[in-house]
Structure 1
Amino acid sequence: MKIGFIGLGNVGGKLSGSLVRNGLDVVAHDLDAALVAQKVADGAVAGQGPVQMMRDCDVVITCLPSPAASAAVVEQMLPEVRAGKIWIEMSTTDAAEIRRLAALVAAAGGHAVDCPVSGGCHRADTGNISIYAGCDRDTFERVLPVLTHMGRRILHVGDIGTASTLKVMTNYLATANLLTLCEALTVMKASGVDLALTYEAIAMSSGNSFVHETESQLILSGSRDVNFTMDLVQKDIGLFQKLADDAGVPLEISPLMIRMMTDGQARYGTRAQSDRMIERLEEATGLSILAEGFPQELVDDEPEERGYEVVRRH
């Protein structure tokens, strides 16, 4: 397969890098020419834009910052969609929008895969991230060999839109965990407990989580750079709130989280790193939530291996 990849940002650049590193035929495109040049230096071919890439590639992957950006790219590609062509959407987007765009691709004779990822940029960088894939089974079988070069665990979730719904849910949970960790670390500091000790106590407890094992380290080191900005958090938790509103579920924690993130953006900037939410509590208490021995950036120490399909329980 010749694979087009559009969107070479924090996540897309790493996912496409795994394809290039593993020797696949990759055509790369981004509005930032410097990002394209880096991929070309690594072994990709520079794409000329969505139209040319859909025309010349078997599969085109998009990994873009907003549903509007994805829609704009798909609309450009549609005239070149025909039987056998596949569009894989790896952005975090609205389920209704991915279904709408997928229907347009299908009407032109192609196939679409709703394919967001979860696990952090450091795992995207090593091909060890997790991938959800929403599509028919035949299309999944066709794209699985490509996906296993980008992710370790791949879950076929069924219909288009299901993967995006699940992804929004996981990002909601991750954000809730980040905010509670900020509070937990601050209360421990205020109570006179060593923060390095606190980190280990959480890590070995029922309160442990993926977010703790990653983002707490960046909070304590002072880096506070998880490669995920507050505007992206707001997009994701806003999509989750919309799911709840559409389903008539009266949430209490979700609206509070949105207000807290809105305050963080007002203080530190719309695109500030999400881990800077700890600074709201530092300012409120005068405490420094820092500890020695923690890294400035996350590195995935899990060896890269070819991915595999996760079989769900029945």
Structure 2
Amino acid sequence: MEVGFVGLGNVGSKLAGSLLRNGHDLTVLDLDQSLVSDFVARGAKSASTPAELMRLSDVVITCLPSPAASAATVRAMLPVAGPGKTWMEMSTTDVDVMKDLAAQMAAEGGSAVECPVSGGCHRADTGNISIFAGCDRATFERVLPLLTTLGRRVLHTGDIGSASVLKVMTNYLATANLLTLCEALVTMKAAGIDLNTTYEAIRISSGTSFVHETESQVILNGSRDISFTMDLVKKDIGLFQKIAAAAGVPLEISPLLIDIFEDGIARYGERELSPNIIRRLEDATGLSILAPGFPAQMTDEEPEAPGHEVVPKGQGVNKYHGKL
């Protein structure tokens, strides 16, 4: 299978690296030619346009920073996207944009899969990230071997649109967790509690979480580097708010999260690293939330292993799988 990949940024470069490391025939495309050159030096091929990439590939994966960027790329591929061609969207995107582009791909005879990832750049780098996949079951079965190379845990979420909604939801929850952790760390510092001890108290208790065990560490180190920026957080939580509003759900916490990140962007810039949202409280209190012994960047200590499908509890019999 010939695989094309568009978008070699923080997450995309790591996902594409997993494909290359595991022996897939890979052709890449990015606006930054230095990123393309690095992949070519490691054995990939390159294409100069999205249409050329689709022509050369059986499957084209996009991992881009915004729904607009994905839409422009896919529309450029559509004229050569016929039967036997598959587009896989690994960005966090707008569900309405995803559905529209998938319909256009189907009209040309191709297939579409929305497969956003969750778990952080450090897990994308080792192929241990989680993947949500929205598409019909037959298409899912066809691309599952590729998905289990890209990630460790793969969840078929249903039809096109379902994965985008679930991914935005998980990013909303992660953002809410980040902000409460910021408040907890600053409050403990102000109360005179040692921050190393605070970290462990959270980690071994009911207060722990994936966000704590990753982002709290780079906050305490001072690097605040998880390769994710405030503008991307604002985009994701804004998409979640849009879903809730369309469904008529009167959220109370979500608008507050948006306000906090809008304020953070106004203060520190849209490309500021997202864990540095804690600076709002550091500035307000004059406290420095740092502690020794924590890493500047997260690394995945779990060894790379073959991925597998995650089956939701309570599912019955599926004609493709037999008993689930």
Tell me which residue corresponds to 2:28: 28
Rounded Cα–Cα distance in structure 2 between residues aligned with 1:55 and 1:277: 43
Tell me which residue corresponds to 1:226: 226
TM-score by length of 1: 0.99
Rounded Cα–Cα distance in structure 1 between residues aligned with 2:302 and 2:158: 28
The within-5 A match list for 1:179-218 is 179-218=179-218
Q: CA deviation at 1:97?
A: 0.9
Q: CA deviation at 1:156?
A: 0.6
Tell me which residue corresponds to 1:6: 6
Rounded Cα–Cα distance in structure 1 between residues aligned with 2:3 and 2:233: 29
The within-5 A match list for 1:50-61 is 50-61=50-61
Q: CA deviation at 1:114?
A: 0.7
Tell me which residue corresponds to 2:128: 128
Q: CA deviation at 1:200?
A: 0.4
1:88 counterpart SS class = strand
Rounded Cα–Cα distance in structure 1 between residues aligned with 2:48 and 2:148: 26
Give the length in aligned residue pairs.
314
Q: CA offsets, 1:84-121, max 9 Å, x none? A: 11000000001111000000000100000011000000
The within-5 A match list for 1:155-166 is 155-166=155-166
Q: CA offsets, 1:148-184, max 9 Å, x none? A: 1110000011100100000000000000000000000
1:60 counterpart SS class = strand
Q: CA deviation at 1:14?
A: 0.4
**Structure 2: gaps spanning 5 or more residues:** 315-324
Q: Which runs of 4+ in 1 moved over 6 A?
A: none
Bigger Cα displacement from structure 2, 38-47 vs 244-253:
38-47
Q: CA deviation at 1:243?
A: 0.5
One-letter code of the match for 2:279? E
Rounded Cα–Cα distance in structure 1 between residues aligned with 2:40 and 2:127: 19
Tell me which residue corresponds to 2:281: 281
Q: CA offsets, 1:116-155, max 9 Å, x none? A: 0000000000000000000011111111111111100000
Rounded Cα–Cα distance in structure 2 between residues aligned with 1:185 and 1:219: 10
Rounded Cα–Cα distance in structure 2 between residues aligned with 1:149 and 1:47: 22
Q: CA deviation at 1:22?
A: 0.6
Q: CA deviation at 1:207?
A: 0.6
Tell me which residue corresponds to 1:246: 246
Q: CA deviation at 1:43?
A: 1.5
TM-score by length of 2: 0.96
Q: CA deviation at 1:225?
A: 1.1
Rounded Cα–Cα distance in structure 2 between residues aligned with 1:42 and 1:135: 32
1:113 counterpart SS class = strand
Rounded Cα–Cα distance in structure 1 between residues aligned with 2:288 and 2:248: 41
Rounded Cα–Cα distance in structure 2 between residues aligned with 1:52 and 1:95: 26
**Structure 1: gaps spanning 5 or more residues:** none
Rounded Cα–Cα distance in structure 1 between residues aligned with 2:265 and 2:9: 21
Rounded Cα–Cα distance in structure 2 between residues aligned with 1:197 and 1:38: 42
2:300 counterpart SS class = coil
Task: Provide the alpha-carbon RMSD of the alignment.
Answer: 0.6
2:149 counterpart SS class = coil
Tell me which residue corresponds to 2:271: 271
One-letter code of the match for 1:96? D
Tell me which residue corresponds to 2:137: 137
One-letter code of the match for 1:78? L
Tell me which residue corresponds to 1:114: 114
Q: CA offsets, 1:56-87, max 9 Å, x none? A: 11000000000001110111100101111100
Tell me which residue corresponds to 2:309: 309
Q: CA deviation at 1:55?
A: 1.1
One-letter code of the match for 1:198? T
1:8 counterpart SS class = coil
Tell me which residue corresponds to 2:38: 38
One-letter code of the match for 2:196? A
Tell me which residue corresponds to 1:151: 151
Q: CA offsets, 1:214-255, max 9 Å, x none? A: 000000000111100000000000000000110111011111
2:152 counterpart SS class = strand
